[in-house]
Amino acid sequence: MNEDVAVKNKRLGRNLAIVAIAMFGFGYALVPLYDVLCEWKWIERDRPDAIKAIPETAYEIDKSREVNVEFMTTLNESTPMIFSAEMTQLKVHPGEYHTVNFYAENKTASPMVARAIPSFSPALTSTYFEKVECFCFSEQTFAPHEKKVMPMRFVLNPALPHEYKTITLSYTFFDNTQTAIKK
Amino acid sequence: MSAVTAEHDHDDHHHDDHAHGPEKGWLRWVVTTNHKDIGTLYLVFALAMFFVGGTMAMIIRAELFEPGMQFVDPQFFNSMTTMHALVMVFGAVMPAFVGLANWMVPMMIGAPDMALPRMNNMSFWLLVAGILLLASTLFMEGGAPAGGWTLYPPLVLQTGKALPFAIFSVHLLGISSIMGAINIVATILNMRAPAMSLMKMPMFVWTWLITGFLLIAIMPVFAGAVTMLLTDKFFHTSFFDAAGGGDPVLYQHIFWFFGHPEVYVMILPTFGVASTIIPVFARKPLFGYSSMVYATAAIAFLAFIVWAHHMFTVGMPISGELYFMYATMLIAIPTGVKVFNWTATMWKGAMTFETPMLFSISFVVLFTLGGFTGLMMSIAPADFQYHDSYFIVAHFHYTLVPASIFMIMAAGYYWMPKWTGHMYNEKIGQLHFWLSAISVNILFFPQHFLGLAGMPRRIPDYAIQFSDWNMISSIGGFIFGASQLLFLYIVVDTIKGGTGEKVTDEVWEDAHKHGLEWTLPSPVPYHTFSTPPTVIPCDHD
């Protein structure tokens, strides 16, 4: 192999290595890019960071139909808690306000920080499920063995499309105590 | 087609600017920078890993032979499915193609060696280190990774002590294949004989050039994704942790941005081998060479924009489902071009059916079948039924076993006489082919039925209505596994002398019209094309 080719090979090898390193960065760039794309208006999905309170507005109650709202409670991995809802399902008219109580208990003898993350099925109904008050808006702090009653007040926006007859709302509690200590 | 002047190596022995032969002793294999030695190392390693991964598959099929738990506990079963996939993808199929590229690319383009020979050596030994690290997780507390080869969080974060080792092993394997890819791309772009223009390159070289670019683009993204897993687990970041504002679905997007092109990394060189072998045994030039090149490039481009078809059921917006559905269906067009071109190459050809050709023909048929089931799953609403069922298992095994694996073996049969100077035993070769081709269908075809009936993948036990097809599938699996020992026998036998028949330089009738490698002596000398060949055989217009 002559000298020229050896130099060309080294240069091309180096340039391709730079491309590889840039692609490593691109992998990380996908993280913010994903958030940006998910906020585009035409991409609708429920996102944990879109959990926020909506001010109570008076809607006209749509008595003509009933939607079955189901509640599920889950604990992530081995989160040492007891977590349940006062009812497993509730029939509601769109536009009508309801409050549902959730119960949580810290099973450990030490303080605990936990966060409940909601998830909707069908996912597209999340936009019409308006919460005025929810324990999922912020992290919850529990004293040792503390029991809590946590209300969730919501309304279904009457603009909810008619094909949705059942909405499942699932909450998962994540134990964030370790992360909270680090902070 | 042009006439050929063979640039035999005996002219080159007068040069004194390079070593004359291989080093003596075993150290040769450790320090070698010769592309043929490194090609051999890669191929031998890939063959060994094929049997390791195959043993894991045998454990899986033994457990699934009957409903209920028989031999292994569920955790170990899931480790087996995960490790089988990782070993086969990163230890067997990819290294086998890198080995073939090492051996054949310089000989096909008239180059004396690879562009960066020292890096070539390093990328092989990093591969060995990566696979050993991966294998070591089998013996760790908590067992080897068992969350599937896709390493989805949050499940994979529950892996025991093995998690950081598995992640570092992925890093090593990634660095190894990036270095291999850089080397191959640099060789193809810089080292071609002056008369070898891009559009005269053999299809195998073309497919590897494009595969090389794919690898350089995607392996770092995968490395990034697993690094995020690592920091999520040990450094309290929240890329994928919902409790900290992250999103596990993000991992799936990043993974499949790597994962979809990755499956083309395993299939494009397969296409290249098929496009090399079929013309020789059909005794015709390859039909539609330039359309083959453009189809390969089109498939590589589409690979980057279809990833989310692996996650239709994740809860994507309807606009996303529709986009990924139609984009995925587009892939059928360039792939169809290829299948029709291979068929047209055989059309009215004076075909003979030696082992490499038998494997190639069965590849065209069975790969098309695997492609069609892929098309079925691209239909987003239908995919909800197929997702994570045995249907997808059947689909990707049809595109990997009777396609990638068969063509790697076909390449072995096709080039082994050139490498060793010995003819393999054609009778045993054909026996190996027929046993493999029949048993692979007994093994994987029933899995379509199981999947459509609702049997989930990655589960060690199943409902009794799935018993019959599972038993048939397992029997096929055992026959297939045992048949591969014939291949091992043939490889060893051929290296030791084979049939004893003296092979000619062109080995296959008129092969010198199809590729530069057949103008070299058999067995091929340690150094070739120290001076570039001046006349290039060209089996297309």
Q: What is the pLDDT of residue B101?
A: 97
Closest Cβ–Cβ partner in A9, A27, A47 for B186: A9
Q: Is the pLDDT of residue B491 over 80?
A: yes
pLDDT-based confidence at residue A15 (cuts at 50, 70, 90): very high
Contact across the interface for A115 and B243, Cβ inside 8 Å: yes
pLDDT-based confidence at residue B132 (cuts at 50, 70, 90): very high
* Domain extent at residue B451: 9-519
Does a structural domain hold residue B222? yes
Judged on CB neighbours under 10 Å (0-12, 13-18, 19+), A147 is exposed
pLDDT-based confidence at residue B541 (cuts at 50, 70, 90): low
Chain A contact for B222, CB < 8 A? yes
> Of chain B residues 302-361, which have a CB less than 8 A from chain A?
315-317, 319-320
Does a structural domain hold residue B54? yes
Q: What is the pLDDT of residue A43?
A: 57
User: A67-75 and A166-175 as β-strands: parallel, antiparallel, unpaired?
Assistant: parallel
Can you tell me the mean pLDDT for B117-126?
96
Q: Is the pLDDT of residue B82 over 60?
A: yes
Closest Cβ–Cβ partner in A13, A42, A182 for B115: A13
Q: In 10 A of CB B72, how many CB atoms?
A: 16
Q: Is the pLDDT of residue B10 over 80?
A: no
Q: Which residue of chain A comes nearest to B225, CA vs CA?
A: A27
pLDDT-based confidence at residue B1 (cuts at 50, 70, 90): very low
Residue B262 vs residues B179, B266, B267, B304, B339: alpha-carbon distances, Å:
16, 7, 9, 10, 21
Task: Tell me the whole-structure pTM to 2 decimals.
Answer: 0.87
Query: What distance in Å separates residue B348's CA from the closest CA in chain A?
Result: 43
Q: Which residues of chain A are within 8 Å of residue B236 when distances are taken between CB atoms?
A: 178-179, 182
Q: Is the pLDDT of residue B12 over 60?
A: no
Does a structural domain hold residue B13? yes
Query: What distance in Å separates residue B177's CA from the closest CA in chain A?
Result: 11
- Reported residue count of chain B is 541
Chain A contact for B19, CB < 8 A? no
Q: Is the pLDDT of residue B460 over 80?
A: yes
Chain B contact for A34, CB < 8 A? yes
Judged on CB neighbours under 10 Å (0-12, 13-18, 19+), B141 is exposed
Can you tell me the mean pLDDT for B238-259?
89
Contact across the interface for A42 and B158, Cβ inside 8 Å: no
Instruction: Name the residues of B annotated as catalytic.
Output: 84, 113, 149, 176-177, 260, 262, 264, 275, 309-310, 335, 338, 457
- Whether ipTM > 0.95 holds is no
Q: Is the pLDDT of residue A133 over 50?
A: yes
Whole-number Å distance between alpha carbons of A144 and A139: 16
Q: In 10 A of CB A131, how many CB atoms?
A: 17
Chain B contact for A7, CB < 8 A? no
Q: What is the pLDDT of residue B421?
A: 93
> Alpha carbon B60 to chain centroid distance?
21
Q: How would you label B40-65 residue by residue, b for 16+ Cβ within 10 Å and e otherwise?
A: bbbbebbbebbbbbbebbbbbbebbb
Q: Which residues of chain B are within 8 Å of residue A174 when distances are taken between CB atoms?
A: 241-243
Whole-number Å distance between alpha carbons of A19 and A2: 26
> Alpha carbon B90 to chain centroid distance?
9
Number of folded domains that form chain B = 1
Q: Which residues of chain B are within 8 Å of residue A27 when distances are taken between CB atoms?
A: 220-225, 254, 257
Dihedral sign from CA coordinates of B368, B369, B372, B374: negative
CATH code, domain carrying B109: 1.20.210.10
Query: What distance in Å separates residue B208's CA from the closest CA in chain A?
Result: 15
Q: What is the pLDDT of residue B16?
A: 43
Interface mutation target, options A2, A12, A33, A40, chain B, most CBs of B under 10 Å:
A12
Percent of chain B with pLDDT over 70: 96
Contact across the interface for B221 and A172, Cβ inside 8 Å: no
Per-residue pLDDT of A40-99, as tens digits, reads: 655 555 454 456 778 888 888 888 999 999 999 999 877 889 999 999 999 999 999 999
Does a structural domain hold residue B534? no
Q: What is the pLDDT of residue B6?
A: 43
pLDDT-based confidence at residue B320 (cuts at 50, 70, 90): confident
Query: What distance in Å separates residue A115's CA from the closest CA in chain B?
Result: 6
pLDDT-based confidence at residue A34 (cuts at 50, 70, 90): confident
Per-residue pLDDT of B13-53, as tens digits, reads: 444 445 567 878 888 899 999 999 999 999 999 999 999 99
Chain B contact for A31, CB < 8 A? yes
Can you tell me the mean pLDDT for B405-426?
96
Does a structural domain hold residue B525? no
Does a structural domain hold residue B407? yes
Contact across the interface for B315 and A174, Cβ inside 8 Å: no
Chain A contact for B185, CB < 8 A? yes
Residue A83 vs residues A118, A141, A171, B334: alpha-carbon distances, Å:
14, 14, 9, 54
pLDDT, chain B, mean: 92
Chain A contact for B242, CB < 8 A? yes
